[in-house]
Amino acid sequence: MSKNITELLNINYPIIQGGMAWVAESTLAASVSNAGGLGIIAGGAAPIDYLREQIRNCQKFTDRPFGVNVMLMSPNAEDLAKLVIEEGVQVVTTGAGNPGKYADEWKKAGIKIIPVVPSVALAKRMEKYGADAVIAEGTESGGHIGETSTMCLVPQVVDAVKIPVIAAGGIADKRGVKAAFALGACGVQCGTVFLASEEAKIHENFKNLVLKAKDTDSIVTGRFTGHPCRGVKTSFARELLDFERNGGSPEKFEEITVGGLRKAVQDGNLDEGSFLCGAIAGLITEIKPVEEIIKDLFE
Ligand SMILES: Cc1cc2nc3c(=O)[nH]c(=O)nc-3n(C[C@H](O)[C@H](O)[C@H](O)COP(=O)(O)O)c2cc1C
């Protein structure tokens, strides 16, 4: 089965590095691609000129395929949808919604479309729109999440669609990869494990939080905004949860958290940063080069 995805994407190992806003830039993406996986540059809400530069840098650092993650609800989505065509990007993964309106143009440009889905219903819709594969992402994942666990979501999506299914959420070692394959996935997408890579350009406070995290150290905030997010249970994250539970307004919550991931990634700001990461962080105890991370997952 994994042949599907390695052939489809022209990669050696059936692994996609998750698009991670502010984290997944050209160095990390190129390192993953050079190590035989599919590196991804995250579009997040970043300015288009910055993303053009990241794509061009990545083209310089690797001659292997890599992709771009488009967050469909982001203000840059429309421009980024055009940019990936102009820059000859080979794969697009999408988050937060339905990429249907871009599908025709991307297909015409020969771009492989791989949406991230939190449900069977969206997976089926994506297949109808011509997606080449889907990433079924469980609630264990870092970042914005759905409600169903990887264990429950992946086999249900596998049964519902004919296109390849890639499992995401809670995979950080060989056992997780085997479990994903046992559930019928033909590849994996990992985010959290790459936070603990030498190549991830994130503040050392962030890396230390990932390394120190125990099994119960991730927390979901923002459910009442409709955009729940999983991250490290810092005191700031606990305060956010209290705010939410004690009648704070969703609008005020958005105001307090805006830019939180950037503050975590670039400044290591423990008072105002959102250190997004998955529930599997407890399994991660050392910083390794990307190449070693990928080998450890598969060999
Ligand atoms: C710091 C961080 C930022 C993320 N940002 C995005 C994003 O911008 N777009 C997206 O589609 N997914 C995003 N994700 C989800 C990842 O792409 C990936 O699917 C997820 O991390 C997989 O689960 P894992 O964390 O258990 O490995 C993010 C995850 C993390 C940890």
Tell me what pLDDT residue 1 has.
47
In this structure, the number of other CB atoms found within 10 A of the CB of residue 45 comes to 18
Q: How do the domains of the chain map onto residue ranges? A: 2-200+285-298, 204-282
Single-letter amino acid, residue 168: A
Cα(147) to centroid(ligand 1), Å: 15
What is the helix, strand, coil percentage profile of the chain, to 5? 45, 15, 40
**Is the Cβ–Cβ distance between 210 and 195 less than 8 Å?**
yes
* Residue 208 exposed, middle or buried by CB count within 10 Å (0-12, 13-18, 19+): middle
Q: Which helix (H) or strand (E) is 27 found in, with range? A: helix 26-34
**Which of 15, 16, 20, 215 to mutate to test ligand 1, by most ligand atoms within 8 A of the CB atom?**
20
Considering only CA atoms, which residue is closest to atom 6 of ligand 1?
20
Q: Give 84's contacts (C-beta < 8 A, 6+ positions apart).
A: 55, 68, 70, 92, 106, 109, 111
**How far apart are the C-alpha atoms of 151 and 129, rounded to whole Å?**
26
**Which of 139, 141, 148 to mutate to test ligand 1, by most ligand atoms within 8 A of the CB atom?**
141
Ligand 1 site, CB within 6 A: 18-21, 23, 42, 44, 69, 71, 95, 116, 137, 140-143, 168-171, 189-193, 276-278, 280
Give the closest residue to 26 by CA, choosing from 46, 49, 56: 56
List pLDDT tens digits, range 137-159: 999 999 999 999 999 999 999 99
Considering only CA atoms, which residue is closest to atom 21 of ligand 1?
191
Residue 75 main-chain phi, psi, to 5 deg: -60, -20
Considering only CA atoms, which residue is closest to atom 3 of ligand 1?
20
In this structure, the strands spanning 39-42 and 66-71 are parallel
- The CATH architecture of the domain made up of 2-200+285-298 is Alpha-Beta Barrel (3.20)
What integer is the mean pLDDT of 105-115? 96
Largest CA distance in the chain: 52
Cα(23) to centroid(ligand 1), Å: 9
Length of the chain: 299
List pLDDT tens digits, range 162-204: 999 999 999 999 999 999 999 999 999 999 999 999 999 999 9
Ligand 1 atom closest to residue 275's alpha carbon, by position in its atom list: 1
List pLDDT tens digits, range 269-298: 999 999 999 999 999 999 999 999 999 999
